[in-house]
């Protein structure tokens, strides 16, 4: 079955910078899937600015699940299925092979890639696909192809076309704070907003088009919503006291957030279209760090109502609250996994802060990280990988781990310190052609 993917070009109302983040694997699985991405046969007049096979190979190796064969190691370079010599690939112990070709599309900027995913052991083509995109944004096209390959082999959506937002602070006493968004491989690192006052807690809308975050630019905390495609910025109705921890509902109709207008920090719901707040929790303790369940029926949050920070869950319709963590004296910043069956959070044990995962039904807790000051976990939209803030050599950096604990990596930054990571949802594919025409006319800038 041939599937055609139309690629969206994510253009932000910002200036693009040199890549700040990059993934460095520190520990991978012992028996990764061995894959060979044969150089894509290029049938266009102009040579490619980037080689698709190299970007795809790098994508698949990003989180340690795949080992990609280099072109130098390949015994043959088939351009199509008929030219495949299975003996060559079996000698190299390759599990999967990808061959393809690129051709000119109907529009001047359009490139169309036909590719086949081959199971070498079974000597069988398991998927034939067509992806299209702009020749000027081959890296984005490569990410889409990587996503398709990953899904076909592992049965889960790929995350190579997703984005990550984070806060970057300059290395100086009064250094600026930058709200940034980057491709998951560190490319297209772009500034959405900057301030000399602190920025924190970015959170993606479910359609991937907006970010909510907290800014102290007015001297106190206030929540803002920023559209990524237009650069439009909206300040939420500010209330007395704390305004923090925004989190989008699955339908983007509401934001949950923390307000202290009643003196004690409680969870409130903000209805986006009506610009109104509605109180959800009411307790003398501190309720904070809300996160919506994938079905939108519940919210998980941190509260010290039992005497120490613990994780609680509230049913939005009935406001019934249940405590979820009982192990340890500090559990905070919970985030649901995409399937809604578990949550990741910060757990303190023996004075050290770790990232942990707990099953909602059984209550079974499993510590994932072994570093000391881990915080702000965010999980990939396919539920496979966690990125979190931590310290390395007294510097704030981002790090990551697969949810099974087998793969670990760091995302060092080329300047300043980073915090507050937030992983985008899976980004929907759109027809890139109209957007490309807008880019050419510079109407987006």
Alpha helices in 26-91 (DSSP H): 52-61, 86-91
pLDDT tens, residue by residue, 135-170:
888 999 999 999 999 999 999 999 999 999 999 998
pLDDT in tens, 332-382: 999 999 999 999 999 999 899 999 999 999 999 999 998 888 999 999 999
Q: For residue range 5-35, what is the model confidence (pLDDT) as tens digits?
A: 333 333 333 333 344 788 888 888 889 999 9
Domain boundary assignment for the chain: 2-17+30-160+429-441, 164-423
pLDDT at 432: 36
> Checking phi first, is residue 418 left (phi over 0); if not, alpha (psi -120 to 50) or beta?
beta
Radius of gyration of the chain (CA): 23
Angle between helices 138-154 and 52-61 (to 10 degrees): 50
> pLDDT tens, 256-288?
999 998 789 999 999 999 999 999 999 999 999
Collapsed DSSP state (helix, strand, coil) of residue 65: coil
Interacting residues of 117 by C-beta distance below 8 A, sequence separation 6+: 96, 97, 98, 125, 126, 127, 128, 129, 148, 149, 152, 153
Other CB atoms within 10 A of residue 42 CB? 16
- At which residue do the structure tokens 């905390």 appear? 221
β-pairing verdict for 124-134 and 66-68: unpaired
User: Residues with Cβ < 8 Å from 389, sequence gap 6 or more?
Assistant: 374, 375, 376, 396, 397, 398, 399, 418, 419, 420, 421
CATH among 1.10.3720.10, 2.40.50.100, 3.30.465.10, 3.40.50.10070 for 2-17+30-160+429-441: 3.40.50.10070
- Find, among 337, 336, 303, the residue nearest to 322 by Cα: 303
Q: By C-alpha distance, which of 345, 267, 344 is closest to 303?
A: 267
Q: Using CA atoms, how far apart are residues 207 and 251, in angstroms rounded to an integer?
A: 9
Cite the DSSP H helix spans in 218-296.
none
Return the CATH number of the domain spanning residue range 164-423. 2.120.10.30
What pLDDT shows up at residue 429? 52
Of 418, 367, 368, nearest to 392 (Cα)? Answer: 418
pTM score, two decimals? 0.89
C-alpha dist (Å) from residue 35 to 50, 90, 92, 102, 408: 20, 11, 10, 20, 20
Average of per-residue pLDDT across 319-342: 97
């Amino acid at each position: 079955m041939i599937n055609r993917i139309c690629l969206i070009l994510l253009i932000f109302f910002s200036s693009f910078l040199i890549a700040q983040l990059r993934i460095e694997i520190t520990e991978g699985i012992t028996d990764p899937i061995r894959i060979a991405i044969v150089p894509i046969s290029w049938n266009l007049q102009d040579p490619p600015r980037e080689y698709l096979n190299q970007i795809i190979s790098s994508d698949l190796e990003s989180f340690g699940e795949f080992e990609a064969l280099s072109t130098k190691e390949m015994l043959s370079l088939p351009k199509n299925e008929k030219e495949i010599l299975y003996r060559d690939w079996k000698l190299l112990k390759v599990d999967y092979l990808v061959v393809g070709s690129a051709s000119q599309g109907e529009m001047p900027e359009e490139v169309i890639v036909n590719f086949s995913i081959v199971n070498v052991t079974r000597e069988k083509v398991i998927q034939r696909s067509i992806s299209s995109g702009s020749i000027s944004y081959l890296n984005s096209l490569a990410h889409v192809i990587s996503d398709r390959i990953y899904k076909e082999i592992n049965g889960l959506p790929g995350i190579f076309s997703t984005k990550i937002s984070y806060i970057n602070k300059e290395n100086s006493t009064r250094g600026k704070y930058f709200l940034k968004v980057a491709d998951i491989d560190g490319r297209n690192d772009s500034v959405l907003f900057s301030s000399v006052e602190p920025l924190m807690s970015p959170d993606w809308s479910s359609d991937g088009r907006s970010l909510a975050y907290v800014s102290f630019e007015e001297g106190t905390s206030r929540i803002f919503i920023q559209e990524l495609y237009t650069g439009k910025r909206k300040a939420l109705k500010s209330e007395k006291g704390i305004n923090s921890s925004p989190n989008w509902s699955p339908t983007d109709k509401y934001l949950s957030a923390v307000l202290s207008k009643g003196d004690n920090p409680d969870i409130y719901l903000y209805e986006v279209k009506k610009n109104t707040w509605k109180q959800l929790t009411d307790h003398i303790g501190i309720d904070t760090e809300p996160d919506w369940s994938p079905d939108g029926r519940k919210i998980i949050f941190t509260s010290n109502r039992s005497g120490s920070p613990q994780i609680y869950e509230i049913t939005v319709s009935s406001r019934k609250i249940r405590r979820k963590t009982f192990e340890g004296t500090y559990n905070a910043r919970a985030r649901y996994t995409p399937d809604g069956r578990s949550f990741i959070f910060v757990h303190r044990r023996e004075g050290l802060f770790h990232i942990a995962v707990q099953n909602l039904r059984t209550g079974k807790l499993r510590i994932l990280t072994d570093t000391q000051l881990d915080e702000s976990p965010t999980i990939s939209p396919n539920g496979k990988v966690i990125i979190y803030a931590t310290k390395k050599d007294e510097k704030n950096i981002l790090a990551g781990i697969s949810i099974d604990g087998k793969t670990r990596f760091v995302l060092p930054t080329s300047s300043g310190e980073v915090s507050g990571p937030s992983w985008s949802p899976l980004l929907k594919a759109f027809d890139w052609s109209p957007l490309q025409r807008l880019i050419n006319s510079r109407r987006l800038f």
